Chain A
């Protein structure tokens, strides 16, 4: 069994400290299948095989996920899982949860796939209990892991890649590192993205279709990471990371009829430093300690005569200090317990007249247990969350304290079959964001947290390798979710709104995932990956509301993706597709706000040359090959057919 102690931020070698105590080898099935909660991982080496072209494309290949995408390389991309909304999706990077207390949502567009060693999604809590308490503080999590330094080889490792594509897209990427002695290593990565994003789009206008081109849409992103790893002894590892991201993009705004001009711009700078120390204290105890400081700035400008001085200039700075310690205890075979203590401090400064300088202290404590016995795995978690806000203007403090549970079980009815039945529940909440609480007029200081309940029942199956099928995994999960105290905006008038806890949502659905590999001839195989989701996410606020029992905006009932790859020694080829049914942009599902369903197809071809121990990979992609025209967010048209080509060299 795959160890439950591997967190998304850890490569197996660092987790191996605890593997000895936890490893239970009853079945060699992948984590997707044995986990007590829906868990999906895409590793870097799968990216080619699935024809994945970007982080948003990777997200589409996981069931139950709705991506909100404003289009193009510079468009905001957020993830909503099973009808709960993007603010309930936690995103962690190398083991530490990313926080945005201002808006509560993380823009995935800034994470380049080249630097991702794997990306995974967990819905609810799975059996990873050797993690910070904050990792369990969201309903679901997307976990991104970057590359780790490799020890034991003082030779320079170098990977360089250049990608070019339609709409002026160019992205050089470099990763270089080496071992120092036999217990230290370093790794530096850097990438730069430029794109004009000036793609054509068409929007219906009465009986006509207007063809236009996105303008004021260019983006420049630079990104550097430096990593250092030290293993002072066989039981301990220290990882240190510095991260710097700098982005400037013009924003095309929504497509407006008869007016294709925008003067909006967004500048983002984000840096953080983080250190993580993991050690085995004794046969029974292991300890993980994490420290992080994050600083991010963004500046939004819009030039328009209607603003005072002809320009709107909003600047925000967010800071976070984060510390976490987790103690793992494995007293007897099969049982492990952990206690996690996290503290984080967040603040927000802005140049807005009506903004104060709110800050928040958060203390989370988690008590976790996991038990495994041959055919049975059970997990239980209690999370005590204490949040204290200081609005910054001498007003009253806001505090919320809650104890929330989660539990999961997985049975294997027949020991000779990798067939599992799983059940799990998670109750959690999200704190209102600083915007929701403190933004003048709009915010409301009386808000309560949004509470979610998630119930999941699933069947999973892994076929043991056979001659015709070398690998087959199937997971089917049904779920029922609900949100109470959902924070919704209610109008004072058309232009002045305020936030209340009025909303209620119920969501239910089925998620299906299947992957299989079929060897054909020597060194050739067909690899299939597919997922499908059926999802009803309904507003249940009150019967006299126009949106009563209506599907949430931007939430398709049907969505799914598949990819088929033919891997061979010559040129490997992948065909893939993503599609979803119609959605509405309005809460009351007004017919004129219907966004039609769509299906897009893509093709990838790649080949890796190997010579003198070096590798050279060429890859070409045709994206949206049949030029489907669609919007994910109303008035934000997505690109039609496009291409990318890349060359990657590994020393």
Chain B
């Protein structure tokens, strides 16, 4: 999750015309979170497993300079739990924002000390209370709420200043062309899943369009500078999970996949189909040549997420560990670090239920 921040960042990074490459003096640099030049580290959020045994979640951080992973940094700094099912997060400006789904709150942390600055309790709020995904842009953090809203959190006042209603059960939102794309999964209407997406104009913060012919069970929008991609999960039975390229009102099928990461020139993906004998395949879509390729990379046991930090020059794939022939959702997982060309660097142990990965870019 939280690749939506990545996608926003990628767009912006690309628009800034590769200035990040000439490494000018950091001291003269005025950080602009929407046009980052540097990346200091990565965050790994674990959901825990509240449903099975009440396992709490946690936040881990990797410092690129020292190459060390700090465990449970929220608990270490604040002496208390991050809550039940931390679902999404972003690092933006000098703060880290964490949306906690079951606890129905958003923690705002100082990114240098990891100390809690504020905790927004959302329970009972009419305009959305169940954080599902986040993106940050233009001094605001946009939070998709599973009860059918996208809320706008002002990073200065640290309050939600506006909220708009979208379709049912929005999942991972993405920014493309100054618009927020919201996949309305309608997951709670199971076994009938949704086929709509809402489009929010960032400047007016209103829903300006509703797409009605979206592939079944839309789950995640991600974009790069010249394209918007959708992962739609199907029905977990006969309709498989696939990646689509959004072309106007059409959705062009790219590949069968269950997770994806949109990079500048490629869409990396892994397909772990929902069938009895799990055969996980790794691939990428070469955007310029419009073709799928096998992705030769040291594989993980059962991938959960892919994230690419182009500025920091790193890729990550997080994974569950196996429990017999099935992945375990109650045992601690891990994350593999790779270079941008796919060379394995290191494996780090992280907590139960690896979920969102996001970066400390500035």
Contact = CB atoms under 8 A, between A and B. Distances in A.
A142 B52 CA distance: 28
A496 B236 contact: yes
A258 B352 contact: no
B277 to A, nearest CB: 12
Contacts of A264: none
Nearest to B189: A308
Please name the 10 residue pairs, one residue from A and one from B, whose CB atoms are nearest each other, closest first.
Answer: A305-B147, A585-B53, A206-B80, A634-B54, A586-B53, A492-B274, A593-B53, A258-B103, A635-B54, A207-B79
A101 B103 CA distance: 34
B41 interface: no
A305 B104 contact: no
B329 A491 contact: yes
A85 B147 CA distance: 36
17 contacts: A206-B75, A206-B79, A206-B80, A256-B102, A258-B105, A258-B119, A259-B103, A312-B188, A354-B190, A493-B258, A542-B324, A544-B322, A586-B53, A588-B331, A590-B53, A593-B55, A634-B54
Interface string B309-346: 00000000000011110111111100000000000000
A585 B323 contact: no
Interface stretch (A240-248, A362-370, A545-553): A545-553
A593 B25 CA distance: 49
B81 interface: yes
Contacts of A256: 50, 83-84, 102-103
A587 interface: yes
A545 B53 contact: no
Interface in B136-187: 146-148, 168-169, 186
B102 A553 contact: no
Contacts of B78: 206
B329 A259 contact: no
Interface string A178-210: 000000000000000000000000000111100
B305 interface: no
A522 interface: no
Nearest to B191: A354
B248 interface: no
Interface in A481-530: 490-494, 496
Interface in A569-622: 584-588, 590, 592-593
A46 interface: no
Contacts of A261: 123-124
B129 interface: yes
B80 A208 contact: yes
Contact of A496 (B84, B274, B331): B274
B119 to A, nearest CB: 7
A308 B167 CA distance: 10
A259 B55 contact: no
Contacts of B192: 353
A307 B328 contact: no
Interface in B210-257: 236-237
A486 B274 CA distance: 22
A304 B186 CA distance: 14
Given A256-B84, A259-B83, A306-B168, 14 more contacts: A254-B50, A257-B56, A257-B83, A258-B83, A258-B121, A259-B84, A259-B104, A305-B148, A312-B188, A494-B353, A590-B330, A590-B331, A634-B54, A635-B50
A268 interface: no
A307 B191 CA distance: 13
A258 B54 contact: no
A441 interface: yes
Interface string B43-75: 000000110111110000000000000000001
Q: Is the interface of B mostly helix, strand, loop or mixed?
A: loop
B271 interface: no
A546 B328 contact: yes
Interface residues of B, number: 55
B130 interface: yes
Interface size class of A (residues with CB under 8 A): 35 or more
B227 to A, nearest CB: 27
A448 interface: no
B306 interface: no
A126 interface: no
Q: Which residue, A306, A308, A353, has most C-beta atoms of chain B within 10 A?
A: A306
Given A205-B80, A254-B54, A545-B324, A492 B353 contact: no
A262 to B, nearest CB: 10
B97 to A, nearest CB: 15
Q: Which residue, A353, A354, A492, has most C-beta atoms of chain B within 10 A?
A: A492
Contacts of B189: 308
Contacts of A254: 50, 54
A153 interface: no
Interface string A204-223: 01111000000000000000
A257 B322 CA distance: 29
B324 A544 contact: yes
B54 A593 contact: yes
A541 B324 contact: yes
Contacts of B84: 256-257, 259
B55 A491 contact: no
B135 interface: no
A586 B55 contact: yes
A128 interface: no
A585 B50 CA distance: 11
B356 interface: no
Contact of A588 (B81, B168, B186, B330): B330
Interface in A235-275: 254, 256-259, 261
B312 to A, nearest CB: 28
Contacts of A23: none
A440 B191 contact: yes
B323 A492 contact: no
A635 B48 CA distance: 14
B11 interface: no
B100 interface: yes
A593 to B, nearest CB: 4
B188 A307 contact: yes
B145 to A, nearest CB: 8
Contacts of A353: 191-192
A257 B81 contact: yes
Contact of B323 (A308, A441, A494, A547): A547
Nearest to B79: A207
A492 B236 contact: yes
A207 B130 CA distance: 26
Nearest to B241: A493
Contacts of A307: 188
Contact of B147 (A306, A546, A547, A553): A306
Contacts of B103: 256-259
A306 B130 contact: yes
Contact of A306 (B54, B148, B237): B148
A545 B169 contact: no
Contacts of A257: 56, 81, 83-84, 103
Contacts of A308: 168, 186, 188-189
Nearest to A585: B53
A220 B189 CA distance: 31
A635 B322 CA distance: 26
A306 B188 CA distance: 7
Interface string A524-565: 000000000000000001101111000001000000000000
A584 B331 CA distance: 13
Given A258-B119, A306-B130, A208 B79 contact: yes
Nearest to A254: B54
Interface in B71-109: 75, 78-81, 83-84, 100, 102-105
B240 to A, nearest CB: 12
Contacts of A494: 329, 353
A546 B331 contact: yes
A233 to B, nearest CB: 59
A259 B324 contact: no
Contacts of B81: 205-206, 257
Nearest to B192: A353
Nearest to B85: A256
